[in-house]
Structure 1
Amino acid sequence: MGEILYNNKIEAEIIDLENGEEIPDPTKSEALIVMGGPASANDITKTMKQEIVRIEQAIKAGVPYLGVCLGMQALVKACGGKVIRSPVKEVGWKDLQGNKNSVKLTEQGKNDPIFSGLETTLPIFQLHGETVETTDSMQLLAAGKHCTNQVIKIGNNAYGFQGHLEMTTVLLDTWLAEDDDLKRLSPEEVKRDYATVRNEYESNSKMLFNNFLKIARLI
């Protein structure tokens, strides 16, 4: 994502919530991207309360929003939905049956500009134990086999992706060394799984991010 922003000469301010940094007023930004993390949107910490409030402010102001994993769950909670325990904890590139983790576009998803130029079934990396319950005003753009609410849309320009779009070989190595759920898997197998979908996955991720920047009128 950083490379795409750089190539398009788009300035970005990175806020690290895990280090206690404060979120500035999002209504002064042209877009807001919120990534994942080890926290839960249901946490009652000062940091999470601040994140929910800032997201709510952004959506009410019509600021284009892209949330990934926790960023998606926080979006849903900020807009009146719920974050609950997922019926299946999804970890890695494959499900418990050994099938590739993927999301399938709904009819609304097929017609949404965020998926312009993409296939109707997309491989995805998963790492979550919670999922969301949406409200009637939220659109489901893509569903999963075990965890239904994979990609949601709120209003005209706020998107949430349960799966991760940002995976790289370097990031995967870091997570394999740090994440307790990933540590239970064979790192060699996880890396092999990545190798089988890498070209398609990374191409899709770049296209999705570019589509979001177009929706946000930044490119």
Structure 2
Amino acid sequence: MSLLIVKNITREGPGILEKILKENDIDFHIADLDAGDKVLEPDNYSAVIVCGGPDSANDKTRKMEQELAMIKKAIELEIPYLGICLGMQTLAKSQGAVVRKNDVREIGFRDKDGEYYSVNIEDKWINDPLFKDLGNLVKIFHLHGETVDLSDNIELLATGKYCKNQIIKVGSNAYGIQGHFELTPEMFEVWLDNDPELMELDKTMLLEDFDELAEEYRNNGYTFFSNFLKIAGLL
């Protein structure tokens, strides 16, 4: 059994997570839907991670319909799940929640007040295994214009200043996170040169922010993804 990683767009891959997997000889398979790979059945995997992308969970495409069905099945089978950005929104959508435009687009490392984006873990969930050794407040990178409303079966674990619903949980082992902990320097360069929303911003300033936060960001990424792999029984 191995980990299934689903890419919604080629450039948004596992990054730091992939380094952890290789360092620990954890078997994984990447399905790049942007490159034409098929949406795979979750039954054959120990856990599923769905990455971000420019699609909307509200899209009426065959790709999105199949992705939502796959996620719904994974949750029904209680297969550990982690959704990143769009992967969080598809998790929520698969559970009957509403995905909608957020009042503020969150793009980059800093909000409109010039402060670093961060997530605040709710007191009730501070001891959730996903957050072990992570601390609070946790700085994070954002690249999204949509958010989710919660349905009755979705718990809110962490909040943000301009987009309230930042980290969610369904059941005992399915999580979604609105921001990104997976960025490596190499991946970030690709995003900066190709993502239309990031290309609207000052590249030099974004690189300076990334450099300033590099050690803290990398450590948080390693901790966060390692915690999920432990929840999934893979580490």
2:151 aligns with 135
1:13 aligns with 29
In 2, Cα distance between the equivalents of 1:29 and 1:170? 28
Q: C-alpha displacement at 1:109, in angstroms?
A: 2.7
2:10 aligns with none
Q: C-alpha displacement at 1:149, in angstroms?
A: 0.4
Whether 2:200 is the aligned partner of 1:176: answer no
1:163 aligns with 179
Q: C-alpha displacement at 1:199, in angstroms?
A: 0.7
What are the superposed Cα offsets for residues 75-107 of structure 1, whole Å, 9 maximum, x if unpaired?
000011111001110000001111111111101
How many residues get paired? Answer: 219
Q: C-alpha displacement at 1:206, in angstroms?
A: 0.5
1:92-131 superposed matches below 5 A: 92-131=108-147
Match of 1:90 among 92, 102, 106: 106
Q: State, as a whole percentage, how many aligned pairs show the same letter.
A: 44
Match of 2:57 among 24, 27, 41: 41
Match of 1:145 among 156, 161, 167: 161
1:73·1:83 contact (CA, 8 Å) conserved in 2?
yes
Structure 2 counterpart SS, 1:40: coil
1:199 aligns with 215
2:95·2:153 contact (CA, 8 Å) conserved in 1?
no
User: 5+ residue gaps in structure 1?
Assistant: none
What are the superposed Cα offsets for residues 157-185 of structure 1, whole Å, 9 maximum, x if unpaired?
00100001111111111111111111111
**Deviating runs (4+, > 2 A) in structure 1?**
none
TM-score norm. by structure 1 comes to: 0.98
In 1, Cα distance between the equivalents of 2:28 and 2:234? 12
TM-score norm. by structure 2 comes to: 0.91
Amino acid across the alignment from 1:110? I
In 2, Cα distance between the equivalents of 1:214 and 1:101? 26
2:104·2:162 contact (CA, 8 Å) conserved in 1?
yes
Amino acid across the alignment from 1:161? I
In 2, Cα distance between the equivalents of 1:78 and 1:27? 17
In 2, Cα distance between the equivalents of 1:116 and 1:25? 30
Q: Give the aligned CA root-mean-square deviation in angstroms.
A: 0.8
